[in-house]
Every structure is written in structure tokens, then in C-alpha cells.
Amino acid sequence: MFAKQSPLIALLLFAVTSASSFPALAQDDASHYDYRQRTRELAFDPQRFFPERPEPWMEIVYSGDDYGYPVYSIGILLGCTSEDVGEARRGCGSRMIARMVRAPFNGEPPRPRNRGQALFGFLYESGVSDDASLREALGRYRLEWLETDVSECGPAMAMMEANPALSFFALPLVPRDPLSGIALHTDKIRFVHRDSYLFESTYYGALWEDSPGAWADEFAQSLEACWQPSESTPPWERD
């Protein structure tokens, strides 16, 4: 198991790692195994959270800085999952099952992106060179793999009931002053809501005040007290 570091030691670890490894971000060629992108694809893609339905009802992906350090990803599925068998299928139709992958951190990170920085630093030091070694390393790192029924989580339901139509997706079409939106090395959120198979809304951008991204991050925080360890197979262990 990967030994957890104190926040100060962890920050020093990915400071050193950044100096030695992250400049290679601009030097990768086709023959280089991109463990960063494969980590995002294998572990942090919500469309891998529910094998029975590759497009969940809602997706939230939080990434830090311009390098896309993975912080957390959430997928929410309406109704039954593949784990609901026999009698369990009688009452699962009204559920809202949320699953989350999050990069762990010993204590509260100074910034959310520090979770992903420490994860990438560990993977670099582990020398992962293909999917098999990446999966093994992710298992040793003990990514948080959590689950809850949103319909039984009071704070989350209160947020959804306060804005049942997700009206903030009706963004203005008139361009705003481009200088008002300048931000350097900002964290970003990709927020997807699928009302039906005919309608999908997506936001990708910074966590601007009153934006869909800010709402999505606040919604993720509202689930914090409701998470439990998931008994389903983690996405990085699935084919």
C-alpha cells in the first residue's frame, strides 16, 4: 500500500516530481506511454462507473490547473444498477446512485489540484509503462471509490430541489467582455446533464460564480457526508 505523506511532505514530493517529470509533458512522442491521460480514461471517466449504462444521468469531472490533474469524478445513474438482483430490483427504480473516484490526500490539501499532483507524482515514481502496471499502481495508491443514493442524501436533495430545472444552463448568447473572464492556471469542471436520450447539456470551464461549474462543485460537496465505500468493481479494474 502507498504510504500516505503529511501535507508538507506531499507538497515537497510533487514539487520535486514536477521539476523532473512534468516538463516532459511537452516532450512526449507517440512511443511514450502517457500514464496521465490513461489515468483520466481508466479511473476518472464517469462513463466507466456504470458498466450497464455508459452514459449516466449526470457527470462531474474536476481537474486542476492547465495540466488537468485529476481531483475527483462523479457519475449519477437513475434507477437500478447491475448489482441489483433478485428482490433488490423491486425497489431500486426510484434511486439515484452516485459513484465517485477521488485522489486521496492525507489531511486537507492546500488546493484541490494537490490531490492530482500527488497522484501523478506517485505514478511517475512507480515507473508505470503500460495499462497493466498503471492498474496495479492505482490499486496500491488506494484511490477513493465511493457510492451513495442521492435520493437519501438530505443536503444534495435540497440543492436539487432548489434548482430543479438546472436553469443556469440557459447561458446568455451575447458575448461578454473577454477581459472579464481572464484566469491563469485555473481549475476546471466538466459538468454533463442528460435529461433524456434526446437532450444533453454540457458545461466545461472555470468555476465562475453562479456558473454550472460552481453549482456542480457545490453539489459534490453536499454529498460529502453521505459517501460510503462502493462494493462495485472500481473502473480502473474493469476491462
Q: What is the pLDDT of residues 165-182, one digit of tens each?
A: 666 555 554 555 555 555
DSSP 59: E
| Identity at 176, one-letter amino acid code | R
The Cβ of residue 166 has, within 10 Å, a number of other Cβ atoms equal to: 17
Confidence of residue 161 (pLDDT cuts 50, 70, 90): confident
Nearest to 52 by CA among 90, 86, 81, 95: 81
Of residues 235 and 2, more confidence is placed in: 235
Of residues 207 and 23, more confidence is placed in: 207
Q: What is the pLDDT of residues 2-43, one digit of tens each?
A: 444 444 444 444 444 444 444 344 334 435 899 999 999 999
Q: What is the pLDDT of residues 82-133, one digit of tens each?
A: 776 666 666 676 789 999 999 999 999 999 999 999 999 999 999 999 999 9
Mean pLDDT of 223-232: 96
Q: Kind and range of the H or E element at 125?
A: helix 113-126
Q: What is the pLDDT of residues 44-65, one digit of tens each?
A: 999 999 988 888 999 999 999 9
